[in-house]
C-alpha cells in the first residue's frame, strides 16, 4: 500500500510493459477458456438429449442423424452469433461509457474530481495526497478517462476483435463437442445400440470436461465432475427434451431460484416455435406459422433485452436477435434437406 500510495502521489500508476502484457494474455486466455466451456458444455448435453429422446421413437439411426446434425448446425450458428453479439455489445458499451466520461471530465470537472477523491479515499489516501493526482488528471484528460473507466465503472477495455474470436470459439466448440454423442449413430445403424455407446462416450467426455473445468480454477471443484453426469443420467432415464440441460455451464453455479428461472424461461420460449405443430397436423403449414411466431418473439425479445442492458438502439437489437435466430433455423432446415434419408 505504501509503495502504491507513493506512486499515486506522483500522479502516475507505473505499470511495466511486461506486466501489462502478462495481464492481457491472462485475460485473453481466460476469455477463450470460458468460451470453450460454454460451447462445449451445451454441445455435449443438448445433442445427446435430443438423440436420446429420438432413440425411443425411431429404431433407425439415420433419422436421428438428420435431426442431430440439423440441431448442431442451428446450435453452433446460434451460439456463435450470440457470442458475437454479446462481445459486440460489450465493446459498444465500453465505447459509449468512454464517450460519456470524456464529456464529463471537460464539462463536469468538479463532479469528476469529487468522484476521483472518493475513489482514492477508499485506498486510505488523504485529500492532501490526492490533490497532486487530481492536478495531473486535469492536464491529462486521456489518463483521467482511463482511470475512471477502470476504477469508477469497473470496465476494462475489450479487444475490438473479441466478438469474432468468441463467435468462432463458442460455435466451433459446440459443433466439435456435439459430434461426440452423435458419433455412434454415424457408425451403428440400430438406434438402440447406438444409444448405449452414445451414453458411454458422452459420460466419459463430460467427466473429462469436468476435470478440465476444475483445472481452470472452477470453484465448483468436485461438483464439476458429478453434476454434468447427473444431467446426462436424468436424460437417460427420461429421454426427455433438452430444456433441462441447456446452458448448464452457467446454471450449475447459480442460486436455485435463478436456476429454475433459466430452465423455466428456456422451456416456455421453446414452446413458441412448437405451438403451431401442436395445433396444425400438416407440418409444412405448421412450419410457416412457426417461422412467423418465432421471428416476432425474437424481435420482441431483442428489444426487451436492449432495454434491460440499456442499449441505445432497441430496434437494432431486435433485428439482430431476429436475424440470429433466422440464420440458425435456415441452416438447420437446409442441412436436413441436403442429408439423404
pLDDT band at 20; cut points 50, 70, 90: very low
Cell of residue 41, nine digits: 458444455
State the pLDDT at residue 14: 36
Q: What is the mean pLDDT of residues 284-298?
A: 90
User: pLDDT tens digits, residue range 34-45?
Assistant: 888 888 888 888
**Per-residue pLDDT at 173:** 92
Using an 8 Å Cβ cutoff, are 119 and 151 in contact? yes
Which of 73-77, 226-230, 241-245, 277-281 holds the top average pLDDT? 277-281
Percent of the chain with pLDDT over 90: 14
Pull the grid cell for residue 254.
Answer: 447459480
Segment 4-17 shows an average pLDDT of: 40
d(CA 261, CA 267): 10
Question: Following DSSP, what letter does each residue of 187-253 receive, concatenated?
Answer: H-SBHHHHHHHHHHHHHHHHHHHHHHHHHTT-TTTTHHHHHHHHHHHHHHHH---GGGTTTHHHHTT
Query: Can you give the pLDDT at residue 59?
Result: 86
What is the average pLDDT across 159-180? 90
Q: Strands of 35-102 (E only): list them.
A: none
More confident residue, 180 or 332: 180
How far, in Å, CA of 202 to CA of 339, rounded?
A: 24
Its pTM surpasses 0.75:
no
Residue 78 CA to residue 242 CA, distance in Å, equals: 16
- Look at residue 277 in the predicted model and tell me its pLDDT: 93
Q: Which pLDDT belongs to residue 176? A: 93
Q: Distance (Å, rounded) from C-alpha 217 to C-alpha 10?
A: 37
* C-beta separation of 185 from 116 below 8 A: no
Q: CB within 8 A of 151, min separation 6: which ones?
A: 119
Residue of higher predicted confidence among 269 and 215 = 269
pLDDT at residue 227, rounded to an integer = 46
What's the mean pLDDT in 196-201?
93
Amino acid at each position: 500500500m505504501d509503495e502504491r500510495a507513493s506512486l499515486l502521489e506522483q500522479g502516475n500508476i507505473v505499470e511495466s510493459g511486461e506486466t501489462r502484457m502478462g495481464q492481457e494474455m491472462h485475460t485473453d486466455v481466460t476469455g477463450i477458456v470460458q468460451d470453450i466451456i460454454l460451447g462445449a458444455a451445451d454441445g455435449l448435453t443438448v445433442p445427446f438429449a435430443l438423440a436420446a429422446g429420438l432413440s425411443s421413437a425411431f429404431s433407425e439411426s439415420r433419422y436421428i442423424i438428420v435431426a442431430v446434425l440439423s440441431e448442431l448446425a442451428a446450435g453452433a450458428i446460434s451460439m456463435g452469433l450470440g457470442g458475437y453479439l454479446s462481445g459486440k455489445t460489450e465493446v459498444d458499451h465500453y465505447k459509449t461509457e468512454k464517450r460519456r466520461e470524456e464529456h464529463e471530465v471537460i464539462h463536469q470537472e468538479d463532479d469528476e474530481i469529487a468522484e476521483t477523491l472518493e475513489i482514492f479515499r477508499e485506498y486510505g489516501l488523504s485529500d492532501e495526497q490526492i490533490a497532486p493526482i487530481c492536478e495531473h488528471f486535469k492536464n491529462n484528460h486521456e489518463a483521467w478517462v482511463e482511470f475512471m473507466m477502470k476504477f469508477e465503472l469497473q470496465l476494462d477495455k475489450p479487444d475490438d476483435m473479441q466478438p469474432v474470436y468468441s463467435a468462432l470459439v463458442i460455435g466451433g466448440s459446440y459443433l466439435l463437442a456435439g459430434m461426440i454423442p452423435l458419433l455412434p449413430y454415424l457408425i451403428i445403424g440400430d438406434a438402440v445400440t447406438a444409444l448405449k455407446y452414445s451414453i458411454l462416450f458422452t459420460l466419459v467426455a463430460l467427466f473429462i470436461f469436468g476435470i478440465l473445468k476444475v483445472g481452470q480454477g472452477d470453484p465448483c471443484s468436485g461438483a464439476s465432475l458429478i453434476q454434468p453426469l447427473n444431467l446426462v443420467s436424468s436424460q437417460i432415464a427420461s429421454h426427455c427434451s433438452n430444456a433441462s440441460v441447456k446452458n448448464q455451464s452457467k446454471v450449475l453455479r447459480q442460486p436455485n431460484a435463478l436456476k429454475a428461472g433459466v430452465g423455466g424461461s428456456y422451456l416456455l420460449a421453446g414452446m413458441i416455435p412448437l405451438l403451431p405443430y401442436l395445433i396444425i397436423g400438416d407440418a409444412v403449414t405448421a412450419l410457416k406459422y412457426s417461422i412467423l411466431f418465432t421471428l416476432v418473439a425474437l424481435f420482441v425479445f431483442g428489444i426487451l433485452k436492449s432495454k434491460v442492458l440499456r442499449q441505445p438502439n432497441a430496434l437494432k437489437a431486435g433485428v439482430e436477435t431476429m436475424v440470429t435466430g433466422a440464420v440458425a433455423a435456415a441452416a438447420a432446415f437446409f442441412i436436413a434437406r441436403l442429408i439423404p434419408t
